Amino acid sequence: MARIDLVDLAHSYGGNDAPQDSFALKPVTMTWRQGGAYALLGPSGCGKTTLLNVISGIITPSRGRILFDGDDITPLSTQKRNIAQVFQFPVIYDTMTVGQNLAFPLKNRGVPRAEIDKRVAEIGRLLDLEPYLNRKATRLTADAKQKISLGRGLVRSDVAAVLFDEPLTVIDPELKWQLRSKLKALHRELDLTMIYVTHDQTEALTFADTVVVMHDGRVVQSGTPAELFDKPAHTFVGYFIGSPGMNILPAEVRGREARIGGHVIALNRSYDSLPAGAKIEIGVRPEFVDAVTPAPGLLTAKIDRIDDLGRIRFARVRVGDAKLAARSPAGFTSSDGTAGLKFDPSHVHVYADSLLVEGAA
C-alpha cells in the first residue's frame, strides 16, 4: 500500500536521445494516492500501456523517477517492486491447479504456508473460485481464466497497486459488466490502489473515481468523471469523453465575446489576455446547445439530420465547414432545413492551442 509519485517520467522506445515528439510517453509528473480507483483512458497507441509497464517495471523509463511512498524504486526490477499486474490476455499456469495458480505469487516470495492458504481461500471466495481451487487449471472459459489472473493480482496483501491492462477485452460483454462490478466491489473491500487501463470511456467512467485521460503520449487531464465532462482541460478530452463529443469551433475571442463569422456569442467570463498567435477555439457540449427555430441574434446553422436517442434528440448541424451537435427540444421541426443555435454561456469554454483557458470573472 503506497502513494505512487511519478516525477518527470518519460519513455522513448528509441532511447533518451530520440526527439521528444517521438516519445511514447512524454514527461509527466503526477501522484496516485493510496486506495484510489484510477482509470487510464485514451485511444490505442496513446501510451497507456507504456505508462503502466513503466510503473510495474517491465519497462525501464528513459528518464524520470517513480516513487513509492517517497522511496525511489526506478532501478528496481519488477520482482522487487510491490506491484501486481493483470494483462489483456489471461496468463494461466496450466500444469497447476487453480489454487496453486493463486498461490504462485506468494510462494515465489516465500510467504509461510499457513498465510498462503489463508489468502488463497479468501481470494477464492471473493472471486467465486472456491469450488475449483483443487482442479487443474486447464480447459477453462476465457472469463474463468481472467478471474484466475485477477486473483493472482489481488492475492498479495502487500502490493502498492494493482494494474489492469485492458483485462476485460477478451470477455463477453455481459460478463464484462459482472466482472467489472466485481472489481469495484473488490476495490472497496481490499482498499487497494487500482489502475485500470482502457480505451472504453464507459468502462473508465464506471470503474474509476479518478479518470486520467491520455492523448499522444501525454496525460492531458486527470479528474472525476464529472470534471472531465463539465470542464475538459483539453479539446481532446472534450471530444473523447461524452457521446456525442464536445463541439469545437474556431472563433475570435475578445473580452466577454466570442465571434464566429459575423455572429457574437456571449461568454460568462472575460478572456483578455489570450496568448498571441495561438489557435483559439470555443468548446461547448451538445447538451448545452439548443437547436431552435431561427431567430435574430441566434447563430444560424444548416441541419444535416436529427438523431433520436429516445430520451434526447441531437440535431447534427453545420456552421460553415464546422460540424456540430445540438440538443433538439421535443416538438422542434425546421421548415427550411436551418436552425438557430442557442448557447448556454456558462458552459462555453475557450481553448488556446487545444488547452483550456481560465477566464477572469
Least distance in Å: CB of 299 to other proteins? 29
User: Taking contact as CB under 8 A, which single stretch among the options 27-35, 41-49, 89-97, 115-123 is the one that binds other proteins?
Assistant: 89-97
Contacting residues for 298 by C-beta, under 8 A, at least 6 apart: 292, 340, 341, 342
Q: Is position 268 an interface residue for other proteins (rule: CB under 8 A)?
A: no
- Give Cα 150 to chain centroid, integer Å: 20
Residues in contact with other proteins, shown as a per-residue x/- string from 163 to 202 under the rule CB under 8 A: ----------xxx-xxx-xx-------------------x
C-alpha span between 334 and 327 (Å, rounded): 14
Residue 225 or 294: which CB sits closer to other proteins?
A: 225
C-alpha span between 273 and 255 (Å, rounded): 9
Can you tell me which residue has the cell 483578455? 272
Phi, psi of 242, rounded to the nearest 5 degrees? 100, 150
Residue 42 or 151: which CB sits closer to other proteins?
A: 151
Which of 20, 22, 134, 141 touches other proteins (CB under 8 A)?
A: 141
User: Taking contact as CB under 8 A, which single stretch among the options 29-37, 88-96, 264-272, 331-339 is the one that binds other proteins?
Assistant: 88-96
- Of 150, 36, 179, nearest in space to 84 by CA: 150
Peptide bond just before 90 cis, omega within 30 deg:
no
Q: Which three cell numbers stand for residue 315?
A: 440535431
User: Taking contact as CB under 8 A, which single stretch among the options 67-75, 133-141, 288-296, 310-318 is the one that binds other proteins?
Assistant: 133-141
CB of 290 within 8 A of CB of 327? yes
Q: Which three cell numbers stand for residue 309?
A: 436517442
Residues in contact with other proteins, shown as a per-residue x/- string from 39 to 78 under the rule CB under 8 A: -----------------xxx------------------xx
C-alpha span between 239 and 88 (Å, rounded): 26
How many CB atoms sit inside 10 A of residue 4's CB? Answer: 22
Collapsing DSSP to helix, strand or coil, 259 comes out as strand
Residue 194 or 292: which CB sits closer to other proteins?
A: 194
Can you tell me which residue has the cell 475571442? 253
Phi, psi of 304, rounded to the nearest 5 degrees? -85, -50
Least distance in Å: CB of 138 to other proteins? 7
Q: Is position 225 an interface residue for other proteins (rule: CB under 8 A)?
A: yes
Residue 93 or 293: which CB sits closer to other proteins?
A: 93
Residue 105 or 238: which CB sits closer to other proteins?
A: 105
Q: Is position 231 an interface residue for other proteins (rule: CB under 8 A)?
A: no
- Give Cα 153 to chain centroid, integer Å: 21
Which of 71, 94, 115, 209 touches other proteins (CB under 8 A)?
A: 94
Least distance in Å: CB of 194 to other proteins? 15
DSSP assigned state of 347:
G
Residues that bind other proteins (CB under 8 A): 56-58, 77-79, 83-85, 87-89, 91, 93-96, 104-105, 108-109, 128-129, 131-132, 135-136, 138-141, 143-144, 147, 149, 152-153, 173-175, 177-179, 181-182, 202, 205-206, 225
